[in-house]
Structure 1
């Protein structure tokens, strides 16, 4: 056997898999081949999107399901044994595994990250592949797991038989947390971006600790009623009769899993502190959802409950750890045992990328000064000074500004999809109500269809709050637009939200991250792959802050007290304490000053015009930064990354057995052919082949239309060498190319369609060329003629 002639897949089947099996690995239970562990980044341009390539490991080896410990990267035998090592190490970094192998079928290069080997890399023969027990022994030594603790970490995941398994980063988070608990760590922080499945991850952690009897009574705390109810009915449902939701003054101590709202177990009066009906050691695990929230006051509900159950293990979950000089997630919980950021989620294709439409108004940027002695709509004398963006909708309400925002939102919806779920973040309830009213007046046809097309969903409005479940339910069309201020900032699982409008002053990075998180979920069933952010108050400038998607850095500086102050959202805006909102209330800023409790005058102006002075679209770039770039510029950049010059492109195009391979390769890099064709062809008024699009856009060559290329081939009398059915087929293929492009004529299935089916059956048409090799040779020759210079 000539090993050099074998494909990579042949090498796997004939050499690598048998070597693994011979070492004692269970091929069906412990070995998975061709494991795609990401989805491929979604690339957005214009109204279209494409997906990049998913990361795929040739082999992942497991100690047991969902506990990966090794990866193997295979190459064909034309490569050296270690040629795949760097690629494999990248996969091992992502999958959090310590053992890395590369193979070309001759043997293995083994890289051991545990430090239990005399040297990092060793060459092994096919017969020397390590056994499962050997690698598990080294893994446990690396993790500091000995004796009984090994058995504890082997507690199984919950499996409902549906085939659903945790994503790779969820597996990492679950395993690291369980291992930390087994080692005796009692304060644990998990940082996972919004939309990455924190609650499902928490469920699997609790399930494993509960099933192994390491933790027998567990309390899950959240600060929004909807979060508790969603958790109970969705991810935590498998706990069944062992689970209960704590209600005020109704305590039954016969359950094992307790879900509770902070506000349901504590209060200002001693008799309201329901949690004290439990003994301090009743719970041995407390899981705190959205642990960045809660009041920083010494007597806050957050502190009281956690201090009372201080003997339990505390696990904090958050997308946005709070790190200021006053409050610190890290000071309380320690450094995160695992972090998975928004950027990672977007790069992997598990989270939706975004484009930003930034709109600036004249009065916001240039300022406005009232004429001397001017009074507002309510007769108030307006203080004489210059008002600008920081005053809008807080000190100064310009009704035309609210109207203009509503107009721009309505324009966008009508131009894209008037039924896409939209959240508009306003400064307070008054602002949210004005925005609702303006949108109702601008969308009379939609509101006539259903009065709930636009709803204000704020803490003070029972009917609005009642519609929150319908808004987040993908199957419910209405409400379509929700105006809000604080109520929908956190924990609202709006999977199909495609538009987030920022008309709110956002000063907290934590709050900004949470708001952006409302749009990051993907729902392929409903066509939600990306979302748009419309920014009217320069909030998206926070994207440029390194803190937006960087690792949390502790800057907490305690003031004379060694006890940690739990993280919170402090007093943001106008006196609202973000962690103490009651049952989802507290959405209004009211008429307070800057947190000082003083009456604030808010001027309302109804006779000052507003105009747009700047509007631009920015896209999420490969490096996580926003870029303002045209489709042509973006395409040019993508192509020049793949091809160093026009000659390089022409050579690759000419050598490609199928041109479709190059077209697909560029699509994976973000070239959106349909959008690019639409833009370029509209300007040139002729349909172009992908070849001509690239030559024209990336290399400034004059393009030929598909029809012009066909005419050139005919002028050269190319068909003279063929006769009969073969000539008829080629002439029909040429016409097909002129109509639909190169991809279709490369697919042999085209012979089943008209007009080919009228010439003869596919098998007869192929025989006219002397068989399939002759047919394929004729196609390649035809393509060479089409693209002859």
Structure 2
């Protein structure tokens, strides 16, 4: 038997740590998991290809019950001290929101107890002193304030399981458990902030299920402001409530159900007779979930807020990806500070959300503005008012036909170079602009439009044919539509899992709206190859990425005193309509568009083809077409592209404003201050590609850097050149140097042929090809035998890997 000092970390786990846990009463089948990857690993985009970084993985996570994680255990081999894994374990515990932290090398345990109020936080335990599940659960309940029988019952209630093995992700688990615990302690207003695509509805379902199943909440109302959101909820995770659930519609109220889904506008109206929510008693519901609470219910004087005030005795949970905070609008003021926030940046870093590329395209008229020459007339023969028109005017006040055509051409060129069947959303200024953009895109892609007219479609609130295609656009299995043009209808509530291109040709001044639009692309669908998306920006809207608050926690702008009366004058009694309410069809109650009003300029944007806000019966659309004089339409204008460049972002998701090579030099030198330190690490590392991967994870954009220097340069040389001003060699030059030294003659005929073939792969693609075992499955290696036969020819896997390491050392000998 191996001596303890010679054992691997896994051996230490198997022979010492796992037995110690089981001896303490932890059930291996249900109360602890080993080698738990709780993130998926960040996605890195390399051209059209993607690769995942390392997932965060805990050696052990301990659960009192499957829905109650309590502790993390980090293991080290016996060459390390007992507590050497504590810092890593503490980091994981902070991410996972766990109060108990352990580290072990097989001799005993170091125990960090966050619940301690007196005495030392960290203590040492012998192997046979590990605390039992009951001991930690008692500490946990006291720490969380769950000591009453009802609170403990709510906390212990299991998740819903459909037998598929699906478990909430770690951040969903935190949101669910914090919410259950807060309600158990009597908190009745809760705000959860979760980025688009991170499973807000699934999280809400598990909260509702556990509270309902435990008997703590008996009648639940799920409120949304769009039919699409209600339909997705009903057909999605909430479907498991089956005959216990109903959708309130057609002003019909049946009080025999337990779970109710409803539109705000289906429960309320401007007249008292329309306020059917009052058919329920004030204490009928004891839990209300408010989906997308940054919208209709965010404004104090909204009629929709009155519904929440009416059911004030119920616990109310607000869900949003984008908390809305202005001096007039606040959902933090109503719900309180977020109980939990999971941001876009966290989602991308964890590998649960798709990363993005940004390409900014600027035209001459965008940068310089456009001024009509003397006597210039519009398409109707009317003389154009002499002034300078700019991006804020284009497509809102003034339409330049050539600009629309050029945007359509650039979008089509991008798709031709990427994938012409990549699902694409083009965000336009208004419905009129969306229709003109549809026409321009049709004319740019006649071949695919002839193959199927749905290749390009307009999906806006006024167009029934387009709206009927929305489900097909969302469905990954449906090929068409491919490109859709829209104005406001698709900014939220659209679960477009395979959308790979977001086109911004609309002036976006609202951070809330910007985040929602970006969220249309953040979902991942590996089955259909959707791992990242691209943003084509024609309006400089991506300047908002540079805003310090882009992905930060919401800041409370609107403060109130304890004595302030929060009931707005006239609210619910004929007060003013909420400016932020949607465009509603008064016959069907359907939301057909949703203006996002942030300031006067954006409010003006809504007064064109989208405006007035109510669709009249028999009108054929939400609004009649605007009179010809509303916008100025001009043509025969010289429009050209002045600037087209891809933006680069650092590891924090912020735009890199300095030269890319200067930024890379700074990042590399933070890891390796001198050339000697870099060379020492390089030579000492068995897998050279791992160093490059680590640099990329630290924010060095290796792939983009290589594109800016040369694709033929070895990545080792690229780093030495950029960071330390060393002259670079190409991979072919490095390989030729090895050949000149007759290095391969030391091997037998078969091994030599394998190494020569691998070397050519290296010269063509780089180190990853040399170090990957997968390369043995491709030509010309397949001509030399199967992977098993090739490895056997070197005397086994260990000797094969040793030969690869020696070849790498020979390649970099001159360094």
Note the C-alpha offset of 1:281: 1.6
**Does the 8 A contact of 2:74 with 2:102 survive in 1?**
yes
Shift of 1:334: 1.1
Once residues 695 and 555 of structure 1 are traced to their aligned partners in structure 2, the CA distance between those partners, rounded to angstroms, is: 48
Does the 8 Å CA contact 1:424/1:481 hold for their aligned counterparts? Answer: yes
Distance 1:733 1:649, change over 3 A: farther
How far residue 759 of structure 1 moved from its aligned partner, in angstroms, is 8.7
Q: Which residue of 2 aligns with 1:740?
A: 761
Residues 779 and 411 of structure 1: is their aligned pair in 2 closer, same or farther, counting only changes over 3 Å? Answer: closer
Rounded Cα–Cα distance in structure 2 between residues aligned with 1:261 and 1:444: 41
Structure 2 residue aligned with 1:583: 590
Query: Contact 1:428–1:587 at 8 Å: present in 2 too?
Result: no
2:570 is aligned with 1:563:
no
Residues 757, 517 of structure 1: alpha-carbon distance in 2 compared, 3 angstrom cutoff? closer
User: Aligned partners of 1:643, 1:367: CA distance in 2, in Å?
Assistant: 47
Q: TM-score, normalised by structure 1?
A: 0.90
TM-aligned CA distance change 1:540 to 1:355, over 3 Å: same
Provide the C-alpha distance between the structure 1 equivalents of 2:613 and 2:741, rounded to a whole number of angstroms. 85
Distance in 2 between residues matched to 1:130 and 1:663, nearest whole Å: 42
CA distance in 2, matches of 1:643, 1:276: 67
Distance between the aligned counterparts of 1:251 and 1:536, measured in 2?
48
The residue aligned with 2:272 is: 270
Does the CA contact (< 8 Å) of 1:428 and 1:485 recur in 2? Answer: yes
- Identify the match of residue 650 of structure 2 among 618, 621, 631: 621
Which of 626, 634, 646 aligns to 1:605? It is 634
Q: Is the 8 A contact 2:427 2:504 kept in 1?
A: yes
- TM-aligned CA distance change 1:558 to 1:402, over 3 Å: farther
TM-score, normalising length from structure 2? 0.87
**What is the aligned partner in structure 2 of residue 235 from structure 1?**
237
Is the contact made by 1:396 and 1:604 (CA closer than 8 Å) also made in structure 2?
yes
For residue 426 of structure 1, report the CA deviation from its aligned partner.
Answer: 0.9
Change in 2 beyond 3 A, CA 1:756/1:374? closer
Distance 2:682 2:496 in 1: 44
- Aligned pair 1:528/2:530, yes or no? yes
Higher mean displacement: 224-233 or 138-147: 138-147
The CA distance in 2 between the partners of 1:397 and 1:766, in whole Å, is 66
SS of the residue 1:209 aligns to: helix
Q: Distance in 1 between matches of 2:728 and 2:523?
A: 41
8 Å contact 1:500–1:519 — kept in the other structure? yes
In 1, distance between residues paired with 2:498 and 2:798? 49
Q: How does 1:575-724 map to 2 (within 5 A)?
A: 577-579=580-582, 581=584, 582-586=589-593, 589-591=606-608, 601-627=630-656, 640=669, 642-659=671-688, 661-662=690-691, 665=694, 691=716, 694-695=719-720, 699-702=724-727, 709=734, 712-713=737-738, 715-718=740-743
Q: Which has the higher contact order (CA 8 A, sep 6+)?
A: 1
Quick check: 2:757–2:780 contact (8 Å CA) kept in 1? no
Contact 1:328-1:565 within 8 A present in 2 as well: no
SS in 2 for 1:547: coil
Contact 1:295 1:580 in 2 (8 A): no
- What residue is the counterpart of 1:14 in the other structure? 15
Whole-Å separation in 2 of the counterparts to 1:371 and 1:717: 73
Choose 494-503 or 611-620, whichever is displaced more: 611-620
Preserved CA contact (<8 Å) 1:460 1:587? no
Is 1:31 aligned to residue 52 of structure 2? no
CA distance in 1, matches of 2:264, 2:768: 59
Task: Give the Cα–Cα distance (whole angstroms) in 1 for the partners of residues 552 and 608 of structure 2.
Answer: 36
Question: What is the DSSP-based 3-state SS (H/G/I as helix, E as strand, rest coil) of the residue aligned with 1:92?
Answer: helix
CA distance in 1, matches of 2:779, 2:245: 63
Indicate if the aligned counterparts of 1:296 and 1:565 stay in contact, CA closer than 8 A: no
Secondary structure of 2:62's aligned partner: strand
Cα offset, 1:627, TM superposition: 2.5
2: CA distance, partners of 1:751 / 1:505: 52
Deviations 1:670-704 (A, max 9, x none): 7788887787666x6xxx66555555565554555
Secondary structure of 1:626 counterpart: coil
1:347-390 deviations in whole A, cap 9, x for unaligned? 11111121211122222222223345544223444333322222
Any conservation in 2 of the 1:295–1:579 contact (CA below 8 Å)? no
Which SS does the other structure have where 1:528 is aligned? coil
Structure-1 residue corresponding to 2:617:
none
- Distance in 2 between the 1:264 and 1:134 partners? 50
* Equivalence map 1:242-391=2 (5 Å): 242-294=244-296, 300-372=302-374, 374-391=376-393
CA shift for structure 1 position 107: 1.7
Residue 434 of structure 2 aligns to a residue in which SS? helix
Separation of aligned partners in 1, 2:123 and 2:94 = 19
Matched, 1:505 2:507: yes
Deviation of 1:709 (Å): 4.9
Distance 1:508 1:672, change over 3 A: closer
Instruction: Give the aligned length.
Output: 774
- Summarize the Cα distance change of 1:477–1:116 in structure 2 as closer, same or farther, 3 Å threshold: same
Deviation, 1:647, is 3.6
Structure 1 partner of 2:5: 4
**Structure 1 CA distance for aligned equivalents of residues 185 and 59 of structure 2:** 32
2-structure distance, mates of 1:435, 1:627: 32
CA distance in 2, matches of 1:773, 1:137: 49
Structure 2, unmatched stretches of 5+, are 572-577, 596-605, 615-625
**Separation in structure 1 between the aligned mates of residue 292 and residue 405 of structure 2, nearest angstrom:** 35
Decide whether aligned partners of structure 1 residues 318 and 133 sit closer, same or farther in structure 2, where only a CA change above 3 A counts: same
Contact 1:81–1:106 (CA under 8 A) maintained in structure 2: yes
Task: Give 1:32 deviation, angstroms.
Answer: 0.9
Distance 1:535 1:751, change over 3 A: closer
Instruction: Say which is worse superposed, 548-557 or 115-124, in terms of deviation.
Output: 115-124
SS for the counterpart of 2:648 is: strand
Please give the per-residue CA displacement for 1:717-757, whole angstroms capped at 9, x wherever unaligned: 5566x5xxx52134313421332126666678989999999
Aligned-partner Cα distance in 2 for 1:190–1:47:
35
Whole-angstrom distance in 1 between the partners of 2:168 and 2:518: 24
Check whether the contact 2:397–2:630 (CA below 8 A) recurs between aligned residues.
yes
Matches for 1:417-428 after TM superposition, within 5 Å = 417-428=419-430
- 2:430·2:608 contact (CA, 8 Å) conserved in 1? no
1:213–1:748: structure 2 CA closer, same or farther, 3 Å change rule?
closer
User: Aligned partners of 2:341, 2:593: CA distance in 1, in Å?
Assistant: 31
Aligned to 2:749: 728
Cα-to-partner distance string for 1:238-274 (whole Å, 9 max, x where unaligned): 1111111111232222111111111222223333333
Q: How many Å separate the matches in 2 of 1:717 and 1:125?
A: 58
Aligned twin of 1:134 = 135
Distance 2:47 2:788 in 1: 43
**1:36–1:480 Cα change, 3 Å:** same
Q: Secondary structure at the match of 2:593?
A: coil
Contact 2:300–2:568, Cα closer than 8 Å, also in 1: yes
Partner of 2:81: 80
The CA distance in 1 between the partners of 2:327 and 2:594, in whole Å, is 26
- For residues 499-523 of structure 1, the C-alpha deviation after alignment (integer angstroms, 9 at most, x for no partner) is 1111111122111111111111111
* Distance of aligned partners of 1:739 and 1:670 in 2 relative to their CA distance in 1, 3 Å threshold: farther
Q: Distance in 2 between matches of 1:749 and 1:504?
A: 45
Distance 1:525 1:777 in 2: 36
Tell me which moved more, 750-759 or 216-225: 750-759
Provide the rounded CA distance (Å) in 1 between the counterparts of 2:255 and 2:787: 74
Equivalents in 1 of 2:180, 2:171: separation in Å? 14
**Contact kept in structure 1, 2:67 and 2:156, CA below 8 Å:** no
In structure 1, the residue corresponding to 2:592 is in which secondary structure? coil
| CA shift for structure 1 position 311 | 1.5
Could you tell me whether the CA contact under 8 Å between 1:326 and 1:558 is conserved in 2?
no
Q: Provide closer, same or farther for how the CA distance between residues 620 and 762 of structure 1 changes in structure 2, counting only shifts above 3 A.
A: closer
- Bigger Cα displacement from structure 2, 206-215 vs 266-275: 266-275
For residue 488 of structure 1, report the CA deviation from its aligned partner.
0.5
The 1:211/1:747 distance shift into structure 2, 3 A limit, reads closer
Alignment check: 8 A CA contact 1:474 1:526 kept: yes
C-alpha deviation, 1:651, in angstroms: 3.5
